[in-house]
Amino acid sequence: MNFLDKVDKQAVDGHIPDAAWGTFKNFVKVLKKSFEDPNKGKTAYNQLEKFIYASGRRADEFFQELRRLPDALVT
């Protein structure tokens, strides 16, 4: 069910109360969630699986590259 359907269900006598809309901060949160990768964990796992330590690379370079991988790896 999308955002507008949820808001519309709260209508009373054809009028949608202001509280039904919620805060802008919550709206942005819901909007971002609707566009995020549904396979975020699997995508991160696949990237990590391909990530290897190349011999001759300095440790600081390795960890800098590791930090650039998706946030899903950190959670």
- Local confidence pLDDT in tens for the 75 residues of the chain: 688 888 889 998 889 998 888 899 988 988 888 888 888 888 888 877 777 777 777 778 878 887 887 765 555
50 with 68, same domain?
Answer: yes
31 with 46, same domain?
Answer: no
27 with 8, same domain?
Answer: yes
The pTM for the full model equals 0.43
45 with 66, same domain?
Answer: yes
Going by C-beta distance under 8 Å and a sequence separation of 6 or more, which residues neighbour residue 46? none
53 with 66, same domain?
Answer: yes
Q: Which helix (H) or strand (E) holds 3?
A: helix 3-8
- CA distance linking residue 48 with residue 74, whole number of Å: 11
Residue 11 structural domain = 3-35
7 with 25, same domain?
Answer: yes
- CA distance linking residue 40 with residue 23, whole number of Å: 26
